[in-house]
């Protein structure tokens, strides 16, 4: 899975966001070692599109989202947003881009300042950028709160008086108020109950239409990602495994890791005996010492010697489906697990 390569990128001028060969590393103390959080990842998003990024914890999906925001800036690579090279910007120039790129976080309660009123939280972006006069800012706050389903009469309350789902609605209101084009949603529904999750997912779709948004949707739940995305990118240990339209990806996963992830989802159907389902063994290796070649090879049931020597590049296996694997699955071919699946820590 070492998926490098840019075969899945579309034309230079077409995309709203284009990330090329992005690398993010974090130093480990003074040891000289580094955590290879994101290694040579490329992606692009057309205007109005939703890109879903999925993977297990530690795969670098959140780091990818944050590096696009330059929080922190990537070690190398290009991030072009709306024709502007973000990695080249510093200080005030970068700050001026912020209202056009927003973010929604996983924990709705801790991402809102508990000491401020909802009205102030939502309005802050307008105040900082001095958009409009006082009256129009107040009107905008009311409009945005209504659009996310929060009664503006409650705007004088503080976050602790709202439930998790309502706080996530407030976070969405805060993100859209500065009229951004792109919103990066980092696990926005992982902390919510299923019934509330459905409300927030529907709301995101509504907001996307209403404000003409482009979304990066980061999540670990494949079903959730399928529901919202136009294109899905599967990541593993800082690399891209597979990029495809959701229908193709879920119907005929080409990368063994994608197939294994899909097989591990619990199905709400008592007819399926989960114990009969094959399970991917082992755990994600340390990002400080990633395996050579394809990074998934230590857990991959199809791994061959070549996988350790040569890193696969993303290649198009079907129209709109790109996979980084030397031995991809044919459409409809099931992934067979040999029981000697490697257990590594």
Partner 1 sequence: MTTSATEPTTTGAGTGPILEVTDLKTHFETARGIVRAVDGVTFSLDRGKTLGVVGESGSGKTVLSRSIMGLLPKRGTIREGSVRFDGVEIGDLSAKEMRSYWGARLAMIFQDPMTSLNPVMKIGKQITESIRQHLDVDRKYANELAENLLRSVRIPEPEQRLKEYPHQLSGGMRQRVCIAVALACGPALLFADEPTTALDVTVQAQVLDLMATQQRERFMAVVLITHDLGVVAGRADEIAVMYAGRIVEKAPTSVLFSDMKMPYTEALLSSIPKLEHASHTRLATIPGRPPNLVNPPKGCKFAPRCAYAQDRCLEEEPPLLPGTQPGHEFRCWFPVGTPEGAEALARNRATAAAATTATTTGEPPAVLGGTT
Integer Cα distance of 183 and 196 in angstroms: 20
Beta carbon of residue 276, minimum distance to partner 1 (angstroms, whole number): 9
- 71 to 55, 63, 326: CA distances (angstroms): 20, 9, 34
| Residues between 292 and 331 that touch partner 1 (CB under 8 A) | none
Which are the contacts of 14, defined by CB distance < 8 A and separation ≥ 6?
44, 46
Cβ atoms of residues 167 and 88 within 8 Å: no
Stretch that binds partner 1, among 71-79, 95-103, 191-199, 304-312 (CB under 8 A): 191-199
Strand order in the sheet with 34-46: 34-46, 15-27, 76-81, 84-85
Q: For residues 84-112, b (16+ Cβ closer than 10 Å) or e, as one string?
A: eebbebeeeebeebbbebbbbbbbbbebb
Beta carbon of residue 130, minimum distance to partner 1 (angstroms, whole number): 28
Evaluate the omega torsion of the peptide bond into residue 11 and state whether it is cis, within 30 degrees of 0: no
Does residue number 29 form part of the binding site for partner 1 (CB under 8 A)?
no
Taking CB under 8 A as the rule, which mask of x and - marks residues 51-90 in contact with partner 1?
Answer: -----xx---------------------------------
| Residues between 236 and 265 that touch partner 1 (CB under 8 A) | 246-247, 250, 260-265
| Residues between 159 and 188 that touch partner 1 (CB under 8 A) | 163, 165-166, 168-169
Cβ atoms of residues 168 and 174 within 8 Å: no
Strands 214-219 and 182-186: parallel
Stretch that binds partner 1, among 8-16, 113-121, 171-179, 277-285 (CB under 8 A): 277-285
Integer Cα distance of 321 and 242 in angstroms: 7
Query: How many beta carbons lie within 10 A of that of residue 9, not counting itself?
Result: 18
Does residue number 268 form part of the binding site for partner 1 (CB under 8 A)?
yes
Residues linked to residue 36 through DSSP beta bridges, in sequence order: 25
Does residue number 49 form part of the binding site for partner 1 (CB under 8 A)?
no
DSSP secondary structure string for all residues of 117-182 = -HHHHHHHHHHHHT-S-HHHHHHHHHHHHHHTT--GGGTTS-GGGS-HHHHHHHHHHHHHTT--SE
Does residue number 194 form part of the binding site for partner 1 (CB under 8 A)?
yes
Please pick, from the candidates 10, 272, 292, 309, the single residue that binds partner 1 as defined by CB under 8 A.
272
How many residues bind partner 1, per CB under 8 A?
A: 62
Integer Cα distance of 334 and 158 in angstroms: 51
Beta carbon of residue 257, minimum distance to partner 1 (angstroms, whole number): 9
Sign for the pseudo-dihedral over CA of 220, 103, 233, 290: negative
Reference 4, options 317, 219, 309, 295; nearest CA is 295
| Residues between 100 and 159 that touch partner 1 (CB under 8 A) | 145-146, 149-154
Does residue number 345 form part of the binding site for partner 1 (CB under 8 A)?
yes
Beta carbon of residue 272, minimum distance to partner 1 (angstroms, whole number): 5
Please pick, from the candidates 71, 128, 139, 267, the single residue that binds partner 1 as defined by CB under 8 A.
267
Taking CB under 8 A as the rule, which mask of x and - marks residues 196-235 in contact with partner 1?
Answer: xxxxxxx--x--------------xxxxx-xxxxx-----
Beta carbon of residue 97, minimum distance to partner 1 (angstroms, whole number): 29
Please pick, from the candidates 11, 32, 270, 334, the single residue that binds partner 1 as defined by CB under 8 A.
270
Please pick, from the candidates 281, 308, 315, 320, the single residue that binds partner 1 as defined by CB under 8 A.
281
Residues in contact with partner 1 by CB under 8 A are: 56-57, 145-146, 149-154, 163, 165-166, 168-169, 193-202, 205, 220-224, 226-230, 246-247, 250, 260-275, 277, 279-281, 283, 343, 345
């Amino acid at each position: 899975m070492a998926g490098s390569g840019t075969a899945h990128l579309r034309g230079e001028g077409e995309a709203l966001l284009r990330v090329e060969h992005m690398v993010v590393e974090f130093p480990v103390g003074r040891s000289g070692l580094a955590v290879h959080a994101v290694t040579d990842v490329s992606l692009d998003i057309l205007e109005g599109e939703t890109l879903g990024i999925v993977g297990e914890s530690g795969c670098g999906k959140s780091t990818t989202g944050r590096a696009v925001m330059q929080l922190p800036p990537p070690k190398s690579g290009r991030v072009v947003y709306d024709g502007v090279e973000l990695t080249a910007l510093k200080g005030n120039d970068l700050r001026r881009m912020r209202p056009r790129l927003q973010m929604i976080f996983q924990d709705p309660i801790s991402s809102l300042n508990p000491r401020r009123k909802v009205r102030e939280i939502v309005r802050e972006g307008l105040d900082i950028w001095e958009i409009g006069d006082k009256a129009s800012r107040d009107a905008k706050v009311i409009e945005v709160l209504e659009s996310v389903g929060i009664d503006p009469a409650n705007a004088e309350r503080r976050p602790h008086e709202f439930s998790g789902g309502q706080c996530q609605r407030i976070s969405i209101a805060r993100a859209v108020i500065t009229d951004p084009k792109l919103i990066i949603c980092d696990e926005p529904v992982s902390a919510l109950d299923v019934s509330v999750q459905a409300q927030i997912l529907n709301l995101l779709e509504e907001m996307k239409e209403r404000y003409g948004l482009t979304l990066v949707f980061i999540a670990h739940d494949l079903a959730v990602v399928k529901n919202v995305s136009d294109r899905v990118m599967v990541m593993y240990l800082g690399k891209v495994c597979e990029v495809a339209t959701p229908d193709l990806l879920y119907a005929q996963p080409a990368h063994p890791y994608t197939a294994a992830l899909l097989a591990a989802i619990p199905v709400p159907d008592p007819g399926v005996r989960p114990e009969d389902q094959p399970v991917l063994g082992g755990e994600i290796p340390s990002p400080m010492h990633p395996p050579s070649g394809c990074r998934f090879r230590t857990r991959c049931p199809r791994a061959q010697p070549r996988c350790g020597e040569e890193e696969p590049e993303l290649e198009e296996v079907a129209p709109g489906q790109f996979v980084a694997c030397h031995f991809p699955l044919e459409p409809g071919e099931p992934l067979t697990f040999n029981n000697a699946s490697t257990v590594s820590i």
